[in-house]
Amino acid sequence: AQTVTQSQPEMSVQEAETVTLSCTYDTSENNYYLFWYKQPPSRQMILVIRQEAYKQQNATENRFSVNFQKAAKSFSLKISDSQLGDTAMYFCAFMKSRAAGNKLTFGGGTRVLVKP
C-alpha cells in the first residue's frame, strides 16, 4: 500500500516571502501521479498543482512550483511571494496509474499561516 508523509504539521511565513512544504511517499509503482491540494478555512478543497512521475520537469503553476525527486520519493511544494489568501491546509496526495482508477492517498496535511 502507498503511504504519504508530510512531516511539517504547521508552518508560518511572512507575506511576500517563500515557504516550502515537504512531502515524501512510499510506493513500488513506477508510473503514478502526485498532487498538492489546498483546503482554505472555508473547506473547499482546491487542486494546486500536479506532477506525472514519468515527467522529469518540475511542474509550475504561477507562484506554486514543485521539486520532484523520484529516486528519493520526495515531492515538495514551494509557494513564492506568499499572499494572505494562501493561508490554508495543504495536502500532498498520491495516485497510482490511471488504469488503477482515481483513488487518492493523502498525507496528514500542513497548516500554512501567512502573516501580514
Partner 1 sequence: KAGVTQTPRYLIKTRGQQVTLSCSPISGHRSVSWYQQTPGQGLQFLFEYFSETQRNKGNFPGRFSGRQFSNSRSEMNVSTLELGDSALYLCASGRLAGSTYEQYFGPGTRLTVT
Q: Does 98 bind partner 1 (CB under 8 A)?
A: yes
Interaction residues for partner 1, span 10-69 (CB under 8 A): 33, 37, 42-47, 50, 52
Contact 21, 35 (CB under 8 A): no
The size of the interface with partner 1 (CB under 8 A), counted in residues, is 23
96, 103, 107, 69: CA torsion to nearest 10: 20
Q: Does 106 bind partner 1 (CB under 8 A)?
A: yes
Residues making contact with partner 1 (CB under 8 A)? 33, 37, 42-47, 50, 52, 91, 95, 98, 100-109
